């Protein structure tokens, strides 16, 4: 795989904020815009960012238009998604992956945006970023310090280090980073989305009962290519679960079924404090996770 790594972000660069998923409100977006401007960046808002169609940020064609325009715009150096929610998977059939491949640039988001990161990696060879988002994380007066520090550190081209809290199976593993929000990732089952080379699987979720997490992990385990190419596991946080004991039993069980080095408690999460992780970059898992 000939991976495309975007150029680092510098002060004075232009950031585009788009909403490929759920509908957004005016005030949080404007606060996020002001935040990035105060940090020394120029900001462009997607033309259709305040559109609304049921629970979506406008109909599929409008959201796809903003996505394509942000990638094609030569002034834009980074694209930060507004929020998650739902809707990214509806865009896949409309995306021109050649536009993405021909204009490799920083693309940021988590939660529902996982669907786009996975598909950009698979079909455009683009390294993206599992990271905080504009309305979700940067619309408050004082963003979480670790979240903010990791975001700008990684986007500026420096490497961060990711600490684990739990050990399920000791060992070392190498591969590209792949995964993200578990419930969004499994919504891609049935299409071609799993990397063709070895990967370190990272996963997180929010407000899902353990039996649903069990179902989703087994959806992936049942895919031959997933079992073949997984080299290690870096479990993030599964916040809002109904039973912490059941969750730990499930994570241990999953690690044992896949029989790869597995660690947990990474700051990949829906919680306020989160780290930015390059999605599709080569990494070493050895207790902690190092991207290189």
Pairing status of strand 282-286 against strand 173-181: antiparallel
Query: Is 241 domain-assigned?
Result: yes
Last residue of a domain, one of 90, 124, 155: 155
Residue 228 makes CB contacts below 8 A (sequence gap 6+) with none
- What count of other Cβ atoms lies within 10 Å of the Cβ of residue 93? 9
Residue 77 makes CB contacts below 8 A (sequence gap 6+) with 7, 9, 10, 13, 14, 15, 105, 106
Query: Is 1 domain-assigned?
Result: no
Same domain, 240 and 283: yes
Query: Is 199 domain-assigned?
Result: yes
Q: How many CA atoms lie within 13 A of 175 on its CB side?
A: 23
Does position 15 have pLDDT exceeding 90, yes or no? yes
Indicate if the alpha-carbon torsion angle 219, 221, 227, 231 is positive or negative: positive
Tokens 């309305």 appear where? 135
List active site positions: 111, 204, 270
Same domain, 89 and 221: no
Same domain, 195 and 286: yes
Same domain, 146 and 266: no
Q: How many domains does the chain have?
A: 2
Query: Is 171 domain-assigned?
Result: yes
Does position 1 have pLDDT exceeding 80, yes or no? no
Q: What is the pTM of this model?
A: 0.97
Query: Is 7 domain-assigned?
Result: no
CB 199 within 8 A of CB 282: no
Same domain, 271 and 286: yes
Last residue of a domain, one of 103, 124, 155: 155
Confidence of residue 141 (pLDDT cuts 50, 70, 90): confident
The pLDDT tens digits for 66-86 are 999 999 999 999 999 999 999
Domain that holds residue 134: 14-155
Query: Is 4 domain-assigned?
Result: no
Here the CATH number for the domain that contains residue 205 is 3.50.30.60
Same domain, 145 and 197: no
The pLDDT tens digits for 149-192 are 999 999 999 999 999 999 999 999 999 999 999 999 999 999 99
Same domain, 18 and 148: yes
Average pLDDT over residues 96-112: 98
Query: Is 236 domain-assigned?
Result: yes
- What count of other Cβ atoms lies within 10 Å of the Cβ of residue 219? 15
């Amino acid at each position: 795989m000939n991976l495309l790594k975007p150029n680092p972000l510098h002060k004075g660069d232009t950031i585009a904020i788009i909403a490929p998923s759920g509908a957004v409100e005016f005030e949080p977006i404007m606060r996020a815009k002001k935040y990035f401007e105060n940090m020394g960046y120029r900001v462009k808002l997607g033309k259709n960012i305040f559109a609304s169609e049921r629970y979506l940020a406008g109909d599929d064609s409008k959201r796809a238009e903003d996505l394509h325009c942000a990638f094609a715009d030569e002034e834009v150096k980074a694209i930060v998604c507004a929020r998650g929610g739902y809707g990214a998977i509806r865009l896949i059939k409309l995306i021109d992956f050649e536009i993405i491949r021909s204009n490799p640039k920083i693309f940021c988001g988590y939660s529902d945006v996982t669907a786009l990161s996975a598909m950009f990696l698979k079909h455009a060879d683009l390294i993206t970023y599992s990271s905080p988002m504009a309305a979700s994380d940067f619309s408050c007066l004082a963003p979480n310090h670790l979240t903010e520090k990791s975001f700008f550190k990684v986007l500026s081209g420096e490497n961060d280090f990711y600490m684990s809290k739990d050990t399920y199976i000791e060992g070392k593993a190498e591969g590209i980073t792949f995964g993200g929000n578990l419930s969004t990732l499994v919504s891609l089952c049935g299409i071609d989305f799993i990397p063709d080379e070895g990967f370190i699987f990272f996963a997180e979720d929010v407000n899902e009962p353990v039996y649903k997490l069990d179902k989703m992990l087994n959806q992936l385990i049942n895919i031959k290519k997933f079992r073949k190419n997984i080299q290690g596991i870096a479990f993030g946080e599964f916040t809002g679960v109904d039973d912490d004991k059941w969750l730990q039993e499930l994570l241990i069980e999953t690690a044992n079924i896949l029989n790869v080095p597995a660690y947990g408690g990474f700051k990949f999460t829906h919680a306020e404090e989160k780290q930015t992780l390059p999605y599709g970059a080569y990494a070493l898992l050895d207790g902690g996770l190092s991207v290189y």
